A and B are shown apart, each in its own frame.
Chain A
Amino acid sequence: MIAPQSVGRVTPQVAHFAEPLTLRSGGVLPAYDLVYETYGQLNAGASNAVLVCHALSGSHHVAGHYDDAASVGWWDNLVGPGKPLDTRKFFVVGVNNLGSCYGSTGPKATNPDTGQPWGAEFPFVTVEDWVATQARLADRLGIRQFAAVMGGSLGGMQAMSWTLQYPERIRHALVIAAAPRLSAENIAFNEVARQAILTDPDFHGGDYYRHGVVPARGLRLARMVGHITYLSDDAMAAKFGRSLRHGKAVYHYDVEFEIESYLRHQGDKFAGFFDANTYLLTTKALDYFDPAFEHGGSLAAALARAEAEFLVVSFTTDWRFSPERSREIVRALVHNRRPVSYAEIDCPAGHDSFLLDDADYHGVLRAYFDRIEV
């Protein structure tokens, strides 16, 4: 059964880029593929394109479904005919970032120099590199300027970076549940996750593919730590509380509290399909993102280049990227006299709120998209 406001069945496409790409880290990719999906129609003036950027474990599969009707896109509640990002008005593009394990060139892909998977040799990628490749894809699709670029979390950082790298190519930036840079605490959580992977005996220095194993234990732990930061204390208390599987303490290390069951399940599920090298690269991209760094730490100075209008959204219970981090962005934008609106949504689900369809949240997004002229 297909939901009435669904974009329906979708097919990913591949864009091959034969020109070498020099990355911020100094690494070079001789050629690469980007996997992407589009929804809706690009209008004659190519003025209705919206790019949706994905977060840590996301992909190009933003909306609709594949042959398996359960394979629904990760932001399907937002994108579709009649939805807040209305595909009857907009041409929506979802692209898988370099370094990912969902089809775009990443550590699992073959290094043409060696004929082996890139593995640990895959160069470090940054938010800026992703944005640069998204711009190349836009060129390929005939999109000179996006009506809007939007993203949540790490995706919001890409939207922000678009306004700095290509100020003339983006009219609106929607920066949701994001931060202008990671805090020491954010980096600390990422480092714990990375150490879990790097110290897994099955990691083999990143070249586990040729050993026919995956560092599943490390990846599982990494995901468990991550999940704690995506939820809120309130959400965990409401969902799990101190519920005991056996109704009382039984004094062993198997699952007793339901939260343990939840985290183990999430960790196992994730370790079953996600690539450990991608997880390492992506958390490093998060850590490195800091547009203010080259401007003496001044975010206001960094954002002086931006020409877009902004919508910044945060969630009250998000402690990974708290509302105060979004307010930093807002203040820097007002300093630069940028048109900016800011909404702080009262939603109990923590960082994960940005993926939900809270009525206030989607009401704000709908109102914003409705007034974008195409």
Chain B
Amino acid sequence: MRYDRFDFDVITEWISPGERVLDLGCGDGALLRHLTAARQIQGWGVEKDIERVRACIANGVNVLHLDLDQGLSGFENGFFDHVIMSFSLQAMHNTQGILAEMLRVGREAVVSFPNFAYWRHRQSILNGRMPVSDSLPHQWYNTPNVRFFTIADFEALCEMDDIVIHERLAFDEGKVVLEEPNFLASAALYRLGRRGLSRP
């Protein structure tokens, strides 16, 4: 379920024309392609799977074959306007480190992830089974996910690590969820910044 149109459209709204964008875990480059067409961005993707790297190249998207768990040490402070990580944060071991790196090399970060506390997921747990859903499509034994967290957990981490939440959109089945997002939303999308840096 990596990108639905909703995800694309929201991120596009947050990106200004001509920005420099880094997309971490960029898959086949679909989002960068969309942003290049819609916002004339200059984008680079980071991907660790060689088949997806090949797909990006075939799609005409700049892609860097790097392992994110090794960090973004090669990139300069504040070089990118936006650093995006769409539905990959839950698959990273070094959650705090990667968030810090995203906000070091980028002025802002855009992060989306599946909400483990979504009501259907809670129901699964109550029934004694690990949740499997559109936003958590894998079985427990083959999931690439290594961190299981909720909207409330993520926002507590942001508070602890001095990360400012500029905007949040929670959604379920492509529709925005305004009430009780930690219960009713299957996924959430954030626009983040560093404390002390105001948005221009």
A interface with B by C-beta (< 8 Å): 311, 327, 330-331, 334-335, 337, 339-346, 360, 363-364, 367-368, 370-371
The 8 A-B pairs with the shortest beta carbon distances in the complex, nearest first, are: A367-B58, A367-B57, A331-B74, A342-B64, A343-B65, A360-B50, A344-B65, A363-B54
10 pairs, CB–CB < 8 Å, chain A vs chain B: A327-B74, A330-B74, A334-B64, A340-B62, A340-B64, A341-B63, A342-B65, A363-B51, A370-B58, A371-B58
Which residues of chain B have C-beta atoms less than 8 A from A341's C-beta?
A: 53, 56-57, 61-64
Other than the known A334-B44, A343-B57, what 5 A-B pairs have Cβ atoms closer than 8 Å?
A340-B44, A341-B57, A341-B61, A346-B50, A364-B50
**How extensive is the interface on chain B, given as a class?**
20 to 34
Which residues of chain B have C-beta atoms less than 8 A from A343's C-beta?
A: 50, 53-54, 57, 65
Cβ-defined contact, B75 with A364, below 8 A: no
Would you give the shortest CB distance from B190 to chain A, in whole angstroms? 25
* Main SS at interface, chain B: mixed
CA of A343 to CA of B49, assembled, Å: 10
Instruction: Check if B120 is an interface residue, CB within 8 A of chain A.
Output: no
- Within B1-27, which residues are at the interface with A (CB < 8 Å)? 20
Cβ-defined contact, A337 with B42, below 8 A: yes
CA of A370 to CA of B54, assembled, Å: 11
Other-chain contact of A330, B20, B51, B54, B64 (Cβ < 8 Å): B64
Instruction: Write the B68-111 contact mask toward A (1 if CB under 8 angstroms, else 0).
Output: 00000011100100000000000000000000000000000000
Which residues of chain A have C-beta atoms less than 8 A from B76's C-beta?
A: 335
Cβ-defined contact, B50 with A342, below 8 A: no
B interface with A by C-beta (< 8 Å): 20, 42, 44, 50-51, 53-58, 60-66, 74-76, 79
Cβ-defined contact, A364 with B53, below 8 A: yes
Which residues of chain B have C-beta atoms less than 8 A from A335's C-beta?
A: 76, 79
Other-chain contact of B75, A331, A345, A363, A371 (Cβ < 8 Å): A331
CA of A335 to CA of B79, assembled, Å: 8
Would you give the shortest CB distance from A101 to chain B, in whole angstroms? 37
Other-chain contact of A342, B20, B63, B79 (Cβ < 8 Å): B63
Which residues of chain A have C-beta atoms less than 8 A from B50's C-beta?
A: 343, 345-346, 360, 363-364
Cβ-defined contact, B62 with A367, below 8 A: no
Which residues of chain A have C-beta atoms less than 8 A from B44's C-beta?
A: 334, 340
Would you give the shortest CB distance from B196 to chain A, in whole angstroms? 25
Which residues of chain B have C-beta atoms less than 8 A from A370's C-beta?
A: 58
Would you give the shortest CB distance from B27 to chain A, in whole angstroms? 14
A337 closest partner in B (C-beta): B42
Which residues of chain A have C-beta atoms less than 8 A from B42's C-beta?
A: 337
CA of A344 to CA of B46, assembled, Å: 12
B64 closest partner in A (C-beta): A342
- Of B55, B58, B62, B65, chain A has the most CB atoms within 10 Å of the CB of B65
A324 closest partner in B (C-beta): B74
Would you give the shortest CB distance from A358 to chain B, in whole angstroms? 10
Which residues of chain A have C-beta atoms less than 8 A from B58's C-beta?
A: 367, 370-371
Would you give the shortest CB distance from A264 to chain B, in whole angstroms? 37
Other-chain contact of B57, A311, A327, A334, A337 (Cβ < 8 Å): A311
Which residues of chain B have C-beta atoms less than 8 A from A344's C-beta?
A: 65-66
Cβ-defined contact, A368 with B75, below 8 A: no
Cβ-defined contact, B20 with A364, below 8 A: no
CA of A285 to CA of B32, assembled, Å: 40
Would you give the shortest CB distance from B36 to chain A, in whole angstroms? 11
Which residues of chain B have C-beta atoms less than 8 A from A367's C-beta?
A: 54-55, 57-58
